[in-house]
Structure 1
Amino acid sequence: MSETYSIGQFSKKTGTTIRTLHYYDELELLKPSIITESGRRYYSDDNIVQLQKIISLKFLGYSLEEIREFLHLSDWNLMDSLLFQREEMLKKKAHLERVIRALDNAIDLTESQGQVNSSIFLMIIHNIQMENEFKDWLKRLLPNDRVEEIFNISDERERELNRLTADIVIKLKEAVGENPENPSVQELVGHIFTLTAEIVGGEDVLFHEIIENEQLVESELENDPLFLASPFSKKEEEWLEKAMEIYLESRGADQYDSTS
């Protein structure tokens, strides 16, 4: 005959709190083998087996509602369920990896910059969060293999690029209000284009394949204003846009225009 245990004994034996056992009872996940007229609950070895099933399914990521459905079925498609759950876990793993990357970048940025402007901090985090969407968008402008190369960089290189970006953005914010034609402002704008060109594979790529598709770029950003986070206010963006126009004119950017 199977041994029976009071709810307190069963709790200690299985490492499950009494509160949790009551909750599982309410959900009809794990019913006591015996409930006396006075309401005392007694569990058996069969309940231990049932609890182990619940714990195992919880470990695999199933919700209590899903577990209840599984336990009440005499037969269920285990393979389909496991494959689905594995796919869900891979998604969660990818999300956690992005979160860890974002934290590593934030820590590195704080160590190198000290007190970080909140808009710059959020830009770095947001761009990591939206990386897959940005990759899909960039593939509309560049060959797929080139886009994959752009993102196939080491963690250290990514942190370095974020440090350089943050430094340029800080200096540009400090320069807002100056004449956009000032050599110091134009030098900072030049740093933006140099860094971007290095990332995408050279000036020919930047000017000929990306800037040439300016209308597509603007259309995407207008349709999804949260697509890329900007560390600049509206006023700052207007000033920066003017400074960039002056820079491009000075560089003779139209030399890259295939229609010229």
Structure 2
Amino acid sequence: MRLEKKYSIGEFAKLTGITERTLRHYDQIGLLKPSEYTEHGHRKYNNQSLAELQKILVLKFLDLSLEDISEYLKQPEQDFSKTLVSQAKMLEEKQKQIEKVLQAIAHVQSTIAGLEAVDQDSLLVLIHALKNEEARKSWINEHADDSVYNKLHSYTAQLDTDKDMAKWTSKMKRFIQEGKAPNDPEVLQHTEAMVSMMKDEVELLLDDEAKNELVNNEGCFAEPNPYLFPSAFNQEEEKFMEKVIEELISRKITIKRQDNEKS
């Protein structure tokens, strides 16, 4: 006959490799109650406690939540093989999710490789774009042919995951943090460099009809879904960028007027 042995919480923790803190938590949520409490309120565990903990740890190994484990232990008559089937399906879905996350991390690491410190918000927007890639593509496919503006947006949306955009955004945020003014030559030069790069690449995608539509400000524009296409800039930074663009346009108008006057 096997003698019933009692363990203090410290002995039970050492025997099972489970921390005392975890055992106290299991007790508090009713998952694993001690076999008894001493008159001074100390927890005591026995061999039955070992058997119960073994079940808990096996179910935890199978990635069941503590809540699910608790429900399962209340219904010991249920078919465990069915639990294994449903748990296998859930883990397969989780595996797909983990693979997707790993791919996103690898893409981000590749994007920022060799760059100086990249702004945290820019990284989060990049990860958000990758996380919602299918939904973003769906929106773009739905609206890209509406007008030239949407064609442009369908292209520029792809820049969210581009190394040049991550680099440009981080540097612009640094200018803002340093307190530079919208008309600061360095800010304007940085902005114009990105505008020029985008213009050179986008123009290759536009036929003569689309270019005329753009010049004449024709066609509708579907405002992009703000959840699928968030900005890496906060509200204050967006206002700063508006002033930068206004300054660039104003300077170009001035230069064009001066050139006309000379000719």
TM, length-normalised to structure 2: 0.57
Q: CA deviation at 1:56?
A: 3.0
| 8 A Cα contact 1:102 1:125, kept in partner | no
* Closer, same or farther: CA 89–50 of 1 in aligned 2, 3 Å: farther
Provide the residue aligned with 1:257 in structure 2.
none
Q: Distance in 2 between matches of 1:124 and 1:34?
A: 52
Provide the residue aligned with 1:147 in structure 2.
none
Q: CA deviation at 1:11?
A: 1.7
Provide the residue aligned with 2:54 in structure 1.
52
Percent identity over the alignment is 24
* Closer, same or farther: CA 105–59 of 1 in aligned 2, 3 Å: farther
Q: Alignment partner for residue 245 of structure 2, among 240, 244, 247?
A: 240
Q: Alignment partner for residue 183 of structure 2, among 177, 182, 185?
A: 177
1:208-227 equivalences under 5 Å are 215-216=221-222, 219-221=223-225, 224=226, 227=229
* Closer, same or farther: CA 246–102 of 1 in aligned 2, 3 Å: same
* Closer, same or farther: CA 128–25 of 1 in aligned 2, 3 Å: closer
Q: Distance in 2 between matches of 1:63 and 1:226?
A: 31
Give 1 or 2 for the bigger CA radius of gyration.
Answer: 2
1:159-174 equivalences under 5 Å are 161-163=162-164, 165-167=166-168, 170=171
Q: CA deviation at 1:141?
A: 4.0
| 8 A Cα contact 1:30 1:47, kept in partner | yes
* Residue 41, structure 1, aligned to residue 44, structure 2: yes
| 8 A Cα contact 1:62 1:85, kept in partner | no
Provide the residue aligned with 2:128 in structure 1.
129
| 8 A Cα contact 1:34 1:42, kept in partner | yes
Q: Distance in 2 between matches of 1:183 and 1:6?
A: 73
Query: Per the alignment, in what secondary structure is the counterpart of residue 46 of structure 2?
Result: strand
* Residue 75, structure 1, aligned to residue 78, structure 2: yes
* Closer, same or farther: CA 246–88 of 1 in aligned 2, 3 Å: farther
| 8 A Cα contact 1:98 1:129, kept in partner | no
* Closer, same or farther: CA 183–64 of 1 in aligned 2, 3 Å: closer
Q: CA deviation at 1:29?
A: 1.9
* Closer, same or farther: CA 245–126 of 1 in aligned 2, 3 Å: farther
Q: CA deviation at 1:55?
A: 2.0
Provide the residue aligned with 1:193 in structure 2.
199
Q: Deviations over 1:216-243 (max 9, x none)?
A: 2xx225xx27832144532423543785
Q: Distance in 1 between matches of 2:170 and 2:20?
A: 56
| 8 A Cα contact 1:126 1:229, kept in partner | yes
Q: Deviations over 1:58-111 (max 9, x none)?
A: 3343322221001111205412344235434643564465456546655x3xx5
* Closer, same or farther: CA 142–134 of 1 in aligned 2, 3 Å: same
* Closer, same or farther: CA 96–28 of 1 in aligned 2, 3 Å: farther
Q: CA deviation at 1:214?
A: 5.6
Q: Distance in 2 between matches of 1:126 and 1:61?
A: 30
Q: CA deviation at 1:14?
A: 0.6
| 8 A Cα contact 2:129 2:228, kept in partner | no
Provide the residue aligned with 1:15 in structure 2.
17
Provide the residue aligned with 2:152 in structure 1.
none
Q: CA deviation at 1:126?
A: 0.8
The gaps in structure 2 that reach 5 residues or longer are 146-154, 253-263
Q: Distance in 2 between matches of 1:165 and 1:28?
A: 49
Q: CA deviation at 1:203?
A: 1.8
The gaps in structure 1 that reach 5 residues or longer are 144-149, 248-260
Query: Per the alignment, in what secondary structure is the counterpart of residue 41 of structure 1?
Result: strand
TM, length-normalised to structure 1: 0.58
Q: CA deviation at 1:51?
A: 1.6
